[in-house]
A and B are shown apart, each in its own frame.
Chain A
Amino acid sequence: MLRDLDQNHVEYEELDGEDISDRNLFLCFRVGATRYGIEVMYLREVANLIEFHRMPGMPGYARGVMNLRGNLIPTIDARSRLGLTEAGCDRDSFVVILKFDGKLHGLVVDDVEEIHEIPDEQIEPMQNIYSMTDYASRVGRTRGGEILLVNVGKLLAG
């Protein structure tokens, strides 16, 4: 059993990036009243909101740097990044830890729901009406409703 666990652990380490993209798994989270989806291959974990240390020169949408089990993770606020002005409640908020381009990033969201598997035929590109499409260019249809699929590279890029 221990061997199985070790094997899983090894495989967990090996599984990275694009290798698991064949299944179209999305973690559904909520910012304001809107539901968003983020690809599972970028996810590392979900954590409670803890203390942030704001660094000089950080952009406005950045919350600061958080210390998660010894790892200093820069974190941005999804509300600010997605253009929502009204402030949420930090007490109920979550931090989604992402790994993009070999680095860990934190994204503060209002709520996390569950992981949905959305087939390709249920995913549609969103019309390029607003600049919003840079962060979420596609829409996935689920039983609970439509979710905006976030473009992680654009979202985390400075």
Chain B
Amino acid sequence: MYIPPWILIPCVIIFASSLIYAFGHPCFSLLLNSRVARLPLARRILGAVQARLSTKGVRIPVPRILSAKNTIAVVNSQLTHITGKIEGSTTDAILRFAKVLENIEDLERAIQSTGAIIDDIQQKLALNVHKDGQGGGAKIDMTFIRRRYEMLLREIADELSLVVNRKSEDLEKMNLVKESVKSIHTLSDEIKMIARQTKILAVNASIEAANAGKYGTTFAVVAEAIRRVAVQSEESSRKILSQMTITNEILDRNINQIEEAMDVESRFINSTIVVLKDVFLSVIDSLFQLSHRIGVIVDGMMSETSPMKQEVQSLVVNLQFEDMTKQISQHVVTMLEEISRGLTGALNHSEEKCDAKTSKEDLFHRFNQVATMQSERDIAAGLLHGGNMKSESPEEAAGAPDGGVELWDDAPSETAASDDSAAMEMALCPSANEPAEALSADAAEKNDPDRLTSDPDADVTFF
């Protein structure tokens, strides 16, 4: 029976591998160094098998894992703290921003009220506002307006006193009219006297005519005519007298009324002057008050800007805190890298023993060296000293994974788990890990090369 070589050779290899696997890895090491291992596929398979064998065969010491777990717990708690702080500061910043917005709205309202007051002033001084044409807006020069009002007031007072003077001149004219009426009254007396004389003449003519008898008949006609004239002149003089009396009374009454009216008018004018003065001065005072109010509002606006400034300053502080957070995050990243190195070291130095307590102290010491802020140190100190007590419990001693989980909450546990898995991946990749180089680099950074040689376990414990 012919069996093709492309089937036979793999079957033989599988069989041999199973045999090698059954008889232990020293043979496998020989095989790995043989020519077969030069093939890429075979090398890959052999690598996987070696990894499997090393995983199964190597026993990682429990104190190292606990140390690494504690480191991860510290890092996780640091991250939790920082996350909480970031959340708090973000909320605080949002609230402060809202407050700043409210302040800005208040400021806008204040500016609107200022505009309304300025409009009010402009309406009040619609006729007499002094506008600065170059500036574009309405600028009110208080001193100028006050001077202008006083000038106007003086002009009005002068005009009113002129009116009073003219009225007194009119009164003097009225008195002249009264005197002329009186002279007319004396003239009417003369008319009356003439009428009387005419009457006497008529009577005497009649007497003469009567005494003349039949010769005086013609003269009696003349006497009669004279008598009629006398009667008419008497009636006329009586009428003139009555009319003159009536006219005189009317004039007297009118003059008295005019005098009273002028008295009232002058009093009214004087009071008007006083009232005008008061009104103008009150308007000017109100202007000053309005300007004062505007000044108060402007002061309020200025005072409102100071809390805004404080808000902005607090925002700047928050930003600084974010910078701080960034630093802490960098520290955390460095620590995680060290954890991965520590786990790798644990894999490589599996035979070495490590005390959990000393590793914690050392860890704390290293944290103090890395951490720049007191809060970080406090958190690390609190956690490590608290975890020191717990590490002596039977669960921790037995290497139970739940013991470390108790150190952080549920939310950061995801981050911790991811960090943990990353550290494990790094630890499981032997080609990527160079513990000696990493340790030497660390030692170079800390200028402590003696520590590497004298206490190599410390480095392994730390990472």
Bound Cα distance A27, B199 (Å): 13
Partner-binding segment picked from A40-48, A73-81, A122-130, A142-150? A40-48
Q: Is the CB of B210 within 8 A of A23?
A: yes
CA distance A25 to B208 in the complex (A): 12
B200 touches A48 (CB 8 A): yes
Task: Give which listed residue, B204, B206, B211, B215, contacts A41 with CB less than 8 A.
Answer: B211
Instruction: Determine if A20 and B213 form an interchain contact, defined as CB atoms under 8 angstroms apart.
Output: yes
Contacts of A45 in B (CB 8 A): 204, 207
Complex contacts, A112 vs chain B, CB 8 Å = 199-200, 203
* A12 CA / B206 CA spacing, docked (Å): 13
Give residues of chain A (3-44) contacting chain B, Cβ–Cβ below 8 Å: 8, 11-12, 15, 19-20, 23, 25, 27, 40-41, 43-44
Q: Is B398 an interface residue (CB 8 A)?
A: no
Closest chain B residue to A94, Cβ basis: B200
Instruction: Give Cα A112 to B204, complex, Å.
Output: 11
Closest A residue to B219 by beta carbon equals A8
Residue of A nearest to B208 (CB): A12
Identify which of residues 211-264 in chain B touch chain A, using a CB-to-CB cut-off of 8 Å: 211-213, 215-216, 219, 227
CB contacts (< 8 Å) of A94 on chain B: these are: 200
Is A132 in contact with chain B by the CB < 8 A criterion?
Answer: no
- Which residues of chain B from 175 to 214 have any CB-CB distance to chain A below 8 Å in the complex? 196-197, 199-200, 203-204, 206-208, 210-213
Residues of chain B at interface, number, CB under 8 A: 17
Closest to B220 in A: A115
Task: Say yes or no: B207 contacts A114, CB within 8 Å.
Answer: no
Chain B residues, Cβ within 8 Å of A115? 203, 206-207, 210
Residues of A close to B216: CB separation below 8 A: 8
List the B residue with the shortest CB-CB distance to A46: B203
**Given contacts A48-B196, A48-B200, A114-B227, A11 and B207 within 8 Å (CB-CB):** no
Would you call B206 and A11 a contact (CB within 8 A)?
A: no
Q: Is the CB of A11 within 8 A of B215?
A: yes
Q: Please name all residues of chain A whose beta carbon is closer than 8 Å to the beta carbon of B215 when the two chains form the complex.
A: 8, 11
Which residues of B have CB within 8 Å of A114?
Answer: 203, 206, 227
In whole angstroms, how far apart are the Cα atoms of A25 and B206 in the complex? 10
Complex interface: chain B residues within 8 A of A44 (CB): 207
**Smallest beta-carbon distance A91→chain B, Å:** 10
Given A48-B196, A114-B227, A12–B212 Cβ distance below 8 Å?
yes
Once the chains bind, are B211 and A15 in contact (CB under 8 Å)?
Answer: yes
Partner of B211 from the list A20, A46, A47, A48 (CB cut-off 8 Å) is: A20
Chain B residue numbers with a CB within 8 Å of A23 are 210, 213
Q: Report the Cα distance A12→B210, complex, angstroms.
A: 10
B211 touches A40 (CB 8 A): yes
Contact B211 A12 (CB under 8 A): yes
Q: A136 to nearest B CB, angstroms?
A: 20
Q: Are B207 and A27 in contact (CB under 8 A)?
A: yes
Pairwise interchain contact B212-A46, C-beta atoms closer than 8 A? no
The reply to whether B200 and A46 form a contact with Cβ atoms under 8 Å apart is yes
Distance A36 CA – B383 CA, assembled complex (angstroms): 158
- Residues from chain A with Cβ under 8 Å of B210 in the complex: 20, 23, 25, 40, 43, 115
Cβ contacts under 8 Å, A11 to chain B: 212-213, 215
Contact indicator B211/A43 (Cβ below 8 Å): yes
Cα–Cα distance between A96 and B309 once the two chains are bound (Å): 124
**Closest B residue, CB atoms, query A15:** B211
**Contact yes or no, B213 A15, CB < 8 A:** yes
Q: Is the CB of B199 within 8 A of A15?
A: no
Q: State the CA gap A41–B196 with chains docked (Å).
A: 23
Q: List CB contacts (< 8 Å) of A45-71 with chain B.
A: 45-48
Residues of A whose CB lies within 8 Å of any CB of B are: 8, 11-12, 15, 19-20, 23, 25, 27, 40-41, 43-48, 94, 112, 114-115
16 A-B residue pairs with Cβ-Cβ distance under 8 Å, sorted by A, are A8-B216, A15-B211, A15-B213, A25-B210, A27-B206, A40-B210, A45-B204, A46-B200, A46-B207, A48-B196, A94-B200, A112-B199, A112-B200, A115-B203, A115-B206, A115-B210
Q: Which 10 A-B pairs have the closest CB atoms?
A: A40-B210, A115-B206, A25-B210, A46-B203, A43-B207, A45-B204, A20-B213, A46-B200, A112-B203, A15-B211
Known: A20-B213, A48-B200. 6 other contacts (CB 8 A): A12-B211, A40-B207, A41-B211, A45-B204, A46-B200, A114-B203
